Amino acid sequence: MKFKLPFNKKQSAPIKEAPKENLVRVAHETDHFIQSIKNATNNPADLIIKTLPPNIALIYIDKLVDDQSLNNDIIANLQNNLYETPESLKVALSISEVNISSLLKETIDTMVNGSVVIHVDGYPQAIVANIASRESRALSAPENESQVIGTQVGFNESLSTNISLIRRYIVNPDLCNEKLKIGSRTNTSVSLLYMHGIANDQMVNTLRQRITDLTIDELLDSAVLAEMIDDNSLSVFPQMLLTERPDRFCDAILDGKVGVIVDGSSMAIVCPQSFTEFFQSQEDQNLRWQIATFVRLLRLTAFFLSVYLTPFYVAALTFHYEVIPQAFLVPLSESRALVPFPPIFEALLLEFIIELLREAGARLPTKIGQTIGIVGGIVIGTAAVQAGITSNILLIIIALSALASFTSPSYMMGNVIRLIRFPIIILAGFWGFYGIMLAFCFILIHLLRQSSLGAPYLSPFYPPRLKEMRDSIIRMPIPLTAKRPALTRPEDNNKFEPEPVKPEKS
């Protein structure tokens, strides 16, 4: 079954002929040049034009350039000396990135990007000096992927800061950084990062192709990009990881994965990503392997509990009383004695309330959000039981499955877990265990059908790779996990020469 996607990944973009305005040259006279810039930029209020007698004009956009270097490095240099030609002026400026441009469009584009345009009267050229300064917040701890043990720094919204963070972790000339521009109107910078000699060329090419083939007008966040370059954009399961942790990002890149960072977005994209890796946290690498294994198994259990516990309750109470042990039947029927609704309605109602609380907590300011979480949970829960619209036991089950869904280290995957519960509850309410099993088989087949950047989504379980299961839902000691995952089809298979687990003490 094939659905038509809202955007076509494979279709090549129609070749556009360069419009004429691109070829307009820079005017000789300064007045004329300024007028043409004003026309092209619709005369914005923050366009600043500064004339330095006798023959120099500076044009820039306020707050896009660094005031300090504008004063110290450019104006100070120009005021004290007299320059005849743009070439001599270029040499005199103590700025690292200075160019001479004779095309008007090019000049304006760089100016909008944060350059100062310098025009010398009588020459058909303009000097563009890049002293861009972008407003960005300071680095802070990652809020969505917090860890107890591990680095406490997250990406911020500045592309250059993020890349410098990564370069700090991976000090290696093999770290490749390709810059792409996406969005016909926003012109967002997107960086493609991978390790030369580890990452598979074919995968890098596929990803680059997917990004450059996009024809969209705006790109404001990497989550949008991730959804658009997914293998199957219509699936509810994310096929690429969004992370705000530089250490996680670097670990993935060193495994042979490809990373994408979007300017203005604090989340980086990592792909290919398998289903099991969504339940791994970077903290697992920092803990002892026994504890990491325990935590990973806990998360997997939480996933199954979260998805199937409520449906199981609904199915057992609606159709299969026989499976409930007699000793358990008494408290169950006591707690349900006053409830007027069928189990399916009861469960859906409570799930709905829990989702409401979660959504309200996420939208409200932090301080009020906490109050809503605690007070709402206790008040509504207790009141619902006392009013007799739900049973105590269901309340425990729902709370447990909600709690379990939050253990997923990936927020995206946590959302999926909470969402797929609803259709399963409905199926369980109508067709009991048969409905649950239908949903189970459907999800299994769905997961089998997915791929991430062409790599199997359920790897390393299917296709089964026994050696890689050492670092999947369990984590074996580091000497045993010296191989990179075959998921990424790495050029270099071994991370290091594996040593014996217990070296002889000398």
Partner 1 sequence: MAKPIQLSPKEMINAYLLFFVVHGAQIGVGIQGFQRIIYQDARHDAWISVLLAGIATHIVTFCMIKTLEIYGSNDLYGIQINIFGKWIGNFLNAMYILYCFVAFFSVLRNYIEVIQAWIFPSIGTWFLSATLLIIIIYAFTGGLRVIVGVSFFSIILSLWIFPMLAFPMKYSTAASLLPILENDFRSILKGAHSMTFTIIGFEILNIIYPFVKDKKNVRKPVHLALLATTFIYLSVMMVSITYYSEGKLLKTIWATLTLFSFISFPFMERFEFVAVCFWMLIILPNLCFYLWAAYRGAIRLVNISGTTFVWLFSFFAFIGTILIQTRTQINTINTVFGQVAFYVVFVYPILLWLIAQLKKNFTAKKVKNNEQA
Amino acid at site 408: S
**Interface residue with partner 1, options 300, 399, 438, 478 (CB under 8 A):** 438
The Cα–Cα gap between 371 and 418 comes to: 22
> Applying CB under 8 A, does 236 fall inside the site for partner 1?
no
Provide the terminal-to-terminal Cα distance of the chain, rounded to the nearest Å: 63
Near partner 1 by CB under 8 A: residue from 167, 446, 467, 495: 446
Instruction: Verify binding: residue 464, partner 1, rule CB under 8 A.
Output: yes
Nearest CA to 459 out of 263, 277, 274 is that of 274
Q: Does 304 bind partner 1 (CB under 8 A)?
A: no
361 touches partner 1 by CB under 8 A: no
Report the residue number, 224 or 473, with the smaller CB distance to partner 1. 473
Nearer to partner 1, 352 or 434 (CB): 434
CB of 406 to partner 1, least distance (A): 24
| Euclidean distance between CA atoms 344 and 286, whole angstroms | 43
Spatial distance between the Cα atoms of 473 and 303, rounded to a whole number of angstroms: 12
Q: How far is the CB of 178 from partner 1 (least distance, A)?
A: 27
> Residue 105 has which token pair?
């469009």
Residues present in the chain in total:
506
Strand, helix or coil for residue 60: strand
Q: CA distances (Å), 339 to each of 18, 67, 334, 399, 402, in order? A: 71, 69, 10, 18, 22
426 binds partner 1 (CB under 8 A): no
Of 104 and 316, which CB lies nearer to partner 1 in the complex structure?
Answer: 316
Cβ neighbours for 229, distance < 8 A, ≥ 6 positions apart: 9, 207, 210, 211, 214, 240, 269, 271
Q: Which of these ranges, 76-84, 224-232, 375-383, 434-442, lies near partner 1 under the rule CB under 8 A?
A: 434-442
Contacts of 287 (CB under 8 A, 6+ apart): 149, 295
DSSP 8-state assignment for residue 103: B
Pure H helices in 372-410: 377-387, 392-405
- Shortest distance, position 302 Cβ to partner 1, whole Å: 18
Of 328 and 406, the one with the shorter C-beta distance to partner 1 is 328
Of 434, 493, 499, 501, the one binding partner 1 (CB under 8 A) is 434
Asked whether position 363 contacts partner 1 by CB under 8 A, the answer is no
Position 441 contacts partner 1 (CB under 8 A):
yes
Least CB distance to partner 1 at residue 392 (A):
17
Stretch that binds partner 1, among 176-184, 190-198, 349-357, 462-470 (CB under 8 A): 462-470
* Contact predicate 268/244, CB 8 Å: yes
Asked if 284 and 297 count as a contact pair (C-beta separation under 8 A), the reply is: no
Q: How far is the CB of 434 from partner 1 (least distance, A)?
A: 5
Question: According to CB under 8 A, which one of 76, 149, 298, 444 is a site residue for partner 1?
Answer: 444
Decide if residue 323 touches partner 1 (CB under 8 A): yes
Q: Which of 47, 309, 324, 473 contacts partner 1 by CB under 8 A?
A: 324
| CB of 320 vs partner 1, minimal distance in Å | 5
Could you tell me the sign of the dihedral formed by the alpha carbons of 421, 427, 432, 436, in that order? negative
By CB under 8 A, residue 328 contacts partner 1: yes
Give the separation between CA 104 and CA 39, rounded to whole angstroms. 11
Nearer to partner 1, 76 or 444 (CB): 444
User: Shortest Cβ distance from residue 20 to partner 1 (Å)?
Assistant: 47
CA distance 168 to 241: 22
38 CB-near residues (< 8 Å, 6+ apart): 47
In the bound state with partner 1, the residue whose beta carbon lies nearer, of 298 and 323, is: 323
Closest contact distance (angstroms) between CB of 443 and partner 1 is 11
CB within 8 Å of 323: residues ≥ 6 apart:
316
Q: What are phi and psi of 117, to 5 degrees?
A: -100, 125
Between 216 and 469, CB nearer to partner 1: 469
CB of 7 or CB of 462, closer to partner 1: 462
Tell me the closest approach of the beta carbon of residue 323 to partner 1, in angstroms.
5
Residue (of 372, 369, 334, 333) closest to 353 by Cα position: 372
Location of structure tokens 């070439």: 87
Among 45, 445, 497, 503, binds partner 1 (CB under 8 A): 445
Please report how close the Cβ of residue 450 comes to partner 1 at its closest, in angstroms.
10
Q: In the set 76, 419, 448, 501, which binds partner 1 (CB under 8 A)?
A: 448
Q: Does 458 bind partner 1 (CB under 8 A)?
A: yes
Choice from 322, 337, 386, 502 touching partner 1 (CB under 8 A): 322
Question: CA angle, 259 as apex, 257 and 261 as ends, to 5°?
Answer: 175
Find the part of the chain contacting partner 1 (CB under 8 A) among 15-23, 191-199, 392-400, 460-468.
460-468
Q: Does the bond joining 463 to the residue before it have cis omega, within 30 degrees of 0?
A: yes
Radius of gyration of the chain (CA): 29
Token pair listed for 55: 């023959």
Tokens encoding 340:
């007027």
Which is closer to partner 1, CB of 304 or CB of 406? 304
CA-to-CA distance for 245 and 243, rounded, in angstroms? 6
User: Candidates 188-196, 331-339, 350-358, 446-454 — which segment interacts with partner 1 by CB under 8 A?
Assistant: 446-454
Size of the site for partner 1 (CB under 8 A): 30
Residue 440 touches partner 1, criterion: CB under 8 A: yes
Which residues are at the interface with partner 1 (CB under 8 A)? 1, 319-320, 322-326, 328, 431-434, 436-438, 440-442, 444-446, 448-449, 456, 458, 461-464
